[in-house]
Structure 1
Amino acid sequence: MSTHSLVSAFYGRVWNAGERGALDDLVTDDFHFQGSLGAPVIGRDAFWGMVSFVRGALSDYHCTIVDCVTEEGKAFARMRFAGTHTAPFRGVEPTGQRVEWQGAALFEFAGDRIGALWVLSDTAALDAALAG
């Protein structure tokens, strides 16, 4: 699978579809994740906890790849994130409002899997959307 295909499958299967089993196919056992929405996590189970939390707080959560540039061993994607705020999130009680924000993701690959991911999100825009 190409690096671009791995990035697409990661967002499509894991984040958008909530497919836990996809992590076995797409990320390494010791996958390292650092994002703007929480503390760094290491490993599939810890990462799945993060995915489940975000998807639980923002129903119909969806990640859209706006742009993606790949080179051997790395990929960079400009992202759009969106969902409906239906559970407590970032210290805010559910508003029922649709929220949307953007971010950037830097992937590092280990063989045919994703070994690490660093995501920087526009949390100011997210927090403003949550505040209404």
Structure 2
Amino acid sequence: MKKINYKDLVKRYYEELWNKQNRDMIDVVFDDEITFRGSLNIEAKGKKEVRDYMDNILNGIPNLYHGIETIIEENGVVAVRAVYNGTHRGKLFDIEPTNRRIKYNGASFFKFKDDKICDVWVLGDLVTLKDQITQK
């Protein structure tokens, strides 16, 4: 059996799960016991909690786009430098919608088990994001 390319799997995570908002990809890309710490500093365990996290984020920024700036694989770990873009159209951080465009950076680290993503740790520039949706 051919081992999958981890960088390709991570690209599918961004393109199909997040950018196309295809929630069916949760079962394709994630291990059943996925641990996920998202860019908004929210932790999720298991596919249902990841789905809830995704719904929460997309409620606040329904057109959220994840752009890969850099992707590196070393010793079975994939690291990504990403830029996130969208419009604040729903409640986020208890902040009512502002309809402001947002753009902030993040870095994500992916681990794998049985050719699926088993752990994601995302560091997002929350200071920049909050500044963009709270400025008067």
Q: Are the equivalent residues in 2 in contact too, given 1:31–1:116 (CA < 8 A)?
A: yes
Q: Which runs of structure 2 are paired with 1:80-95 in the superposition (5 Å)?
A: 80-95=83-98
Bigger proportion of residues as strand:
1
> One-letter code of the match for 2:36?
F
2:119 to 105, 116, 120: 116
Q: Which whole-Å CA distance do the structure 2 matches of 1:36 and 1:25 have between them?
A: 21
Matches within 5 A, 1:1-132: 1-132=4-135
Aligned pair count reads: 132
**Which moves more between the two structures, 30-39 or 16-25?**
30-39
TM-score by length of 2: 0.92
- SS of match in other structure, 1:55: helix
For normalisation by structure 1, the TM-score amounts to 0.95
Aligned sequence identity (%): 27
Residues 33 and 118 of structure 2 are in contact (CA less than 8 Å); yes or no, is this contact kept in structure 1? yes
Give the root-mean-square deviation of aligned CA atoms. 1.1
Gaps (5+ residues) in structure 1? none
Paired residue type of 1:15: W
Runs of 4+ in 1 over 6 A off after TM superposition: none
Deviation at 1:69, TM superposition (A): 0.2
